[in-house]
């Protein structure tokens, strides 16, 4: 026997209250995380200024790659890799 999908949803006051409490909790977590990130960037910026500016971009790129799980493999700069498999 086939059943019909519900034609309407009822939103109760309890549901709205629960949604508001969860939303406030998520916002507070986000604010705390942002505050920690701001403090972390400030300390990393102080350390980066003392070590030098040239390697800062490289280490930042590596940190981003590690965070997202990307592990790039360097490509060899040989003739076949530059032009493909061209045979004469």
For the segment 51-78, the average pLDDT, to the nearest whole number, is: 73
Contacts of 62 (CB under 8 A, 6+ apart): none
Identify the DSSP state of 7: S
Cα dihedral sign for 65, 67, 70, 72?
Answer: positive
Q: pLDDT tens across 3-25, in order?
A: 888 788 888 999 999 999 999 99
- Ramachandran angles phi, psi of 85, nearest 5°: -100, 65
Q: At what angle do helices 13-51 and 56-68 cross, to 10 degrees?
A: 150
Query: Is the separation of the CB atoms in 73 and 81 below 8 Å?
Result: no
Find where tokens 């920690």 sit. 36
Q: pTM for this one?
A: 0.37
């Amino acid at each position: 026997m086939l059943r019909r999908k519900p034609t309407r949803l009822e939103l109760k006051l309890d549901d709205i209250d629960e949604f508001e409490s969860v939303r406030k909790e998520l916002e507070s977590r986000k604010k705390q995380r942002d505050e920690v990130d701001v403090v972390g960037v400030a300390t990393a910026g102080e350390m980066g200024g003392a070590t030098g500016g040239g390697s800062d971009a490289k280490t930042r790129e590596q940190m981003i790659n590690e965070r997202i799980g990307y592990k790039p493999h360097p490509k060899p700069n040989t003739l076949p890799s530059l032009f493909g498999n061209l045979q004469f």
